[in-house]
Amino acid sequence: MPKKRLPRKAHFHSPRHGDKHKDPQSVESCENDILAFLYQSMPPVSIDDITRELAAKNSEKKTIERSIDSLLQENIVRKSGKRLFTFSNNALIYQGILEQNPRGFGFVSHRTSAIEAPVLSRDPFIPASRLKSAHQGDTVLIRVQRVRSDDRPEASVIKILARGTERLAGFFSQDTKGGKVIPEDLRYSFTVLVDASSHPEIRNGDAVIVKIGDSDQSARTVKGEIVEVLGSPDNIDVQMRMVIEKFSLPHIFSPQAEQEAAALPEDIIAEEGREDLREILHVTIDGETAKDFDDAVAVIKTKKGFRLYVSIADVSHFVSPGSALDRDAYERGTSIYFPGRVIPMLPEKLSNNLCSLVPDRDRLTLTAILDFDRAGTLLHKRFSRSIICSRQRFTYTMVRKILVDQDTETRNAHKSFLTPLKWAGELAEALQKMRRNRGALGFTLPEAEIGLDEDGRIQSIKRAERNFAHQMIEEFMLAANEAVATAFTEQNRKSLYRIHERPAPEKVREFSIFAKSLGLHLPEVENSPHWFAKVLDLCKGSPKEYIVNNLLLRTMQQARYSPENVGHFGLAATDYTHFTSPIRRYPDLMVHRELCKMCTLDPQKTPDREKQLPLKDAGDFLSGRERAAVNAEREMNDRLKLLYMENHIGETFDAIISGVNDSVFFVELLDLFISGSVALEDLKGDYFFYDARHHRLTGEISRQVFQLGDTLKVTVKNVDRGRNRISFKPFTDKGN
C-alpha cells in the first residue's frame, strides 16, 4: 500500500478571527480531550458520548461543539452518519515514548497509531510549551500540527497514556524549606520534594531512590517519598544502583524463581538419549575473571581436516518454558556486565554451578559437531544433546603463551593439551581466512579494561588485551552459530535468527564523502561487505584507523533478533543465530529449545511442553533488552571513567580528535579510551574558523589546524560529573 503524503502547511491551531467569545486555551484543551477520547474508544462515537465524557472535565457544551466544528474543518475528524464522529483517513495522531532533552523539549520515538495514520520519516519534535506534564519515558498520545521543510514533524502532547517510571535516582539536599531530591538524570526537569525525617542517617549529597507522585501541567516540583538511601555517589555499588534505576533494569529474582532454583538437584545424571562425550578432550578458554563457563571446545585432526566440538551448557534442561525461572530470564533478556559486578540472567546456582562447564565435573550440554576440510570449508554438521566433562580451564593468556609466545614453563605444565591446542589454532586460522575472503568485517575497536581494588575503587584503566586465543574462540563460536542457523533454514525450523541488515545507501555515501575529506582514497562505493572490508584494510595501522572504524560502525544498522532471516551483513553470512551463550542471553535459550526439538525424534520427549511467545514479539522485546544492557554497560563505564579522571585533573594525555564542530572539538584519550571535549575558547591567541566540509578548525593567524583524526596532547581541565562531561585543553609546554 503506498504511503500517505503528509500535509506541510498545517499550523498550530489558533482561534478564527471574529470569534471574540472563544477562549483559545479551553478550546484547544477540549479538542485534545475529544481526540484522546476518540483514540481510546472504538470510533465512531456519538456527540452524546463525547459530551458525557467531557462533562466530567467541566467542559461546557458550547465549547465541545465549537471544538468538534474546528476538528471537522481541519479534517482531523469526520462525520460517520448524522451524529457519529470518527478520525479522518489522514489524521496525524500517534502514540509513542517521550525522549526529553535536558533543555525541556522532546521527541517521540517508538511510534504506533491505532488509526493507521501516515508514516512519519522522523521522530516528531515537541516544544517544551506543548509537553503538558509529560516527562522523560512517558507513553504519550500526540497530534502532529505541521511538518517542517526538513521532514521533521512538530507536535503537541494530547494525553499521557502511561507514566514511564514511578522511581528515580537522585541527590538529596536539605535546607530551611525542607528536603528535596534533584533527579540525577537531567532529562527529568523537576525537583522532588521529600520528607527525610524517617531517614536520620541521610546526609546532603547522598544518592537516594525516590518514588514520585504526579504533577500538574505547570509544576516544576513534584512530591515524592524516599524509598532507599544509597549513600555516597563515590561508591561503585551506589553508581551501579543508579544505573539500574536509570535504565529500569530487573535485578532481583522473584521468590518463585529463587525457590525453583533452590529445588534443582545437584546431581548431574545423563538421561536416556544423551550422547556421552566425556571422553572427548573438552577445554574451556575464557578471561581471567570469568565465573560462568557456558562453552567448551575440542578439536581433533582427521584425514580430511578437522572435527570441532562446540559444547554449550544445556540450560533448557533446567529452565522449562513458562516457569518462574523462565519468566525472570525473559524479562531480563541478557546478563549485564559491569566492572567487577554482574546482573545475571539466571540465579547463581545455575549460572555459576549447574550450567557452568567447570573442569572435572559432568555437565549436560548441547553439542555442535562440525567437520571441516583443511581450508576451513564445512563438510558435515550434526547436533546432539550430550554430557561432557571439561578437562581443563584455560585463560586467554595461558593459550597465548602456549601457541604464540611458545612459553616453555606454560607448555611444560600442560603437555597433554599441546597437540589439541595446536590443531585448534590451525583450524581457527583456516576459519578466519575463509570469513575474510567472503567479506566478513574485522573491526579493530580497542576497549577499556577497568580494574578495581579490593574495596571496589578504580585502580586502573587500560587497553583490554585481545590476542589470538580470543580470535580462536570467536571463530569456533561463529562457526557453531552459523551451522545451527543453516540447519534451521534447511529444515524450515521456526526460531530467532541474529540478523544484521544492509546499511542505508545514503549513510554509505555520507561516509565515503567524509572519508575522502580525511584524505582516504577509497575504491568505488559499493554497499557490500567486501567494500567495507577493503576500507578497513586501507586504513589498518594508520593514525586514522580508530576514527574510520568508529565512523564505519555508525554507518551500520544495529544487529537484532528476528524470525525473518535476512542474513548478517557484518559477517557476510546468509544464515546466523545465537546458540553459544544460553546462560547469559535468552535468545540462545530459545534457539536451544528449537534445536532440542530438531534432535528429538519422539515428540513426547521434546523439552518445549508449553506454547512459546510469538517469535516476532520475542525478537523485538529481546532486541530492546539487549540495547538497554549495552547502554547501561556503557553508562557505567563512563561514570567510572569520570570518577577516575577526577583524580587526574591537570595531567596530560595523548589523544585523537574524534569530532569537530563550530564551538568545540571532541577527543578520545588513546590509552584510556576516555572521551571529552576542548572548547574553542581554550585555543588561546588566535581565532579559529570551522570548515565543516573538511571537519577541521583553522587558526586565522597561526594557520594551525585541528582536524578529525589528528593526534595531540591534552590536559584535563575539569570533570563535571553532573553532566557526564570531561573538559580538556590543548597541552602547551611553556618551558616545563
Q: pLDDT tens digits, residue range 137-157?
A: 999 999 999 999 888 999 999
* 34 shares a domain with 132: yes
Helix locations, 383-452, DSSP H:
396-403, 408-413, 418-437
Same domain, 172 and 112: no
What span, in angstroms and rounded, lies between the C-alpha atoms of 187 and 166?
Answer: 15
Distance in Å from the first CA to the final CA of the chain = 70
**Distance between CA atoms of residues 431 and 419, nearest Å:** 18
Same domain for 303 and 414?
Answer: yes
The CATH number of the domain holding residue 56 is 2.40.50.140
Residue 576 located in a structural domain = no
- Report the pLDDT averaged over residues 336-340: 92
Q: Residue 26 above 80 pLDDT?
A: no
**Of 129, 162, 195, which residue constitutes the final position of a domain?**
162
Q: If you average pLDDT over residues 559-578, what whole number do you get? A: 95
Classify residue 468: in a domain, yes or no. yes
**Residue 10's pLDDT is what?**
41
Q: Which domain holds residue 678?
A: 649-730
Q: Write down which residue in 492, 521, 538 finishes a domain.
A: 492
Does some domain include residue 182? yes
Domain count, the chain: 5
* Over residues 459-468, mean pLDDT: 88
**Is the domain of 312 the same as that of 341?**
yes
Q: Mean per-residue pLDDT for 86-114?
A: 90
What share of the chain in percent tops pLDDT 70? Answer: 93
Per-residue confidence (pLDDT) for residue 364, from 0 to 100 = 97
Cα–Cα distance, 557 to 570 (Å, whole number): 10
Tens of pLDDT, residue by residue over 243-290, are 999 998 999 999 999 999 999 999 998 888 899 999 999 999 998 888
Among 35-44, 311-320, 595-604, 620-629, the least confident range: 595-604
Q: Are residues 431 and 479 in the same domain?
A: yes
Are both 545 and 685 inside the same structural domain? no
Structure confidence at residue 458 as a pLDDT band (50, 70, 90): confident
Q: Which residues pair with 106 in a beta bridge?
A: 100, 126
pLDDT of residue 537: 84
- Whether 580 is in a domain gets the answer no
pLDDT over 70 (residue 536): yes
Mean pLDDT, to the nearest integer, of 292-316?
Answer: 96
- The pLDDT-based confidence of 20 (bands split at 50, 70, 90) is very low
β strands within 489-577, DSSP E: 497-499, 560-562
pLDDT at 13: 41
Q: C-alpha angle with apex 133: 128 to 137, nearest 5 degrees? A: 85
pLDDT in tens, 716-730: 999 998 888 999 999
Give the confidence band of 319 by pLDDT, cuts at 50, 70, 90. Answer: very high
- Is 228 inside any structural domain? yes
Average pLDDT of span 376-398: 96
Alpha carbons 376 and 386: distance in angstroms, whole number: 25
Whole-number Å distance between alpha carbons of 11 and 146: 6
Per-residue pLDDT band for 594 (boundaries 50, 70, 90) equals very high
Q: Give bridge partners of residue 704 from the DSSP assignment.
A: none
**487 and 365 within one domain:** yes
- pLDDT of 16 above 90: no
How high is the pLDDT of residue 612? 58
281 & 396 share domain: yes
Q: Among candidates 423, 420, 405, which has minimal Cα distance to 468? A: 405
**Is the pLDDT assigned to residue 601 strictly greater than 70?**
no
Per-residue pLDDT band for 471 (boundaries 50, 70, 90) equals: very high
User: Interior CA angle at 587 toward 586 and 591, to 5°?
Assistant: 120
Note whether residue 711 is domain-resident: yes
Q: What's the pLDDT at 694?
A: 82
Residue 539, pLDDT score: 81
Residue 555 has pLDDT above 70, yes or no: yes
277, part of any domain:
yes
Q: Is 129 found in the same domain as 189?
A: no
Q: What is the pLDDT of residues 156-201, one digit of tens each?
A: 999 999 988 889 999 999 988 889 999 998 888 889 999 998 999 9
3-state helix/strand/coil string of 234-257? CCHHHHHHHHHHHCCCCCCCCHHH
Express as a percent the part of the chain with pLDDT over 90.
59
pLDDT at position 216 over 80: no
144 and 218 share a domain?
no
Cα–Cα dist 705/698, whole Å: 5
Would residue 712 count as lying in a domain?
A: yes
Q: In Å, how far are 508, 515, 682 from 511, measured between CA atoms?
A: 5, 6, 30
Across the chain, mean pLDDT equals 88
pLDDT band at 374 (very low <50, low <70, confident <90, very high): very high
Q: How far apart are CA 615 and CA 589, in angstroms?
A: 13
Domain edge (last residue) among 446, 462, 492: 492
CATH number at residue 190: 2.40.50.700
Q: What is the mean pLDDT of residues 625-644?
A: 94
- pLDDT: is 133 or 143 the higher one? 143
Residue 532 has pLDDT above 90, yes or no: no
- pLDDT per residue as tens digits for the range 50-89: 888 887 766 678 888 888 888 998 889 988 877 788 898 8
- Residue from 259, 172, 249, 162 nearest 210 by CA: 172
pLDDT value at 11 more than 70: no
State the helix-helix crossing angle for 586-599 and 615-645, rounded to 10 degrees.
140
- CB 298, CB 284: distance < 8 Å: no
pLDDT tens figures, 491-516: 999 999 999 999 999 888 888 888 87
Asked if residue 462 and residue 331 are part of one domain, the reply reads yes
Tell me, what's the pLDDT at 58? 67
CB contact at 8 A, 363 and 352:
no
> Using the 8-state DSSP alphabet, how is residue 59 labeled?
-
C-alpha cell at 356: 557452568
Q: In 580-614, where does DSSP find H-type helix?
A: 586-599
Residues 130 and 171 in one domain: no
| Highest mean pLDDT out of 338-342, 423-427, 521-525 | 423-427
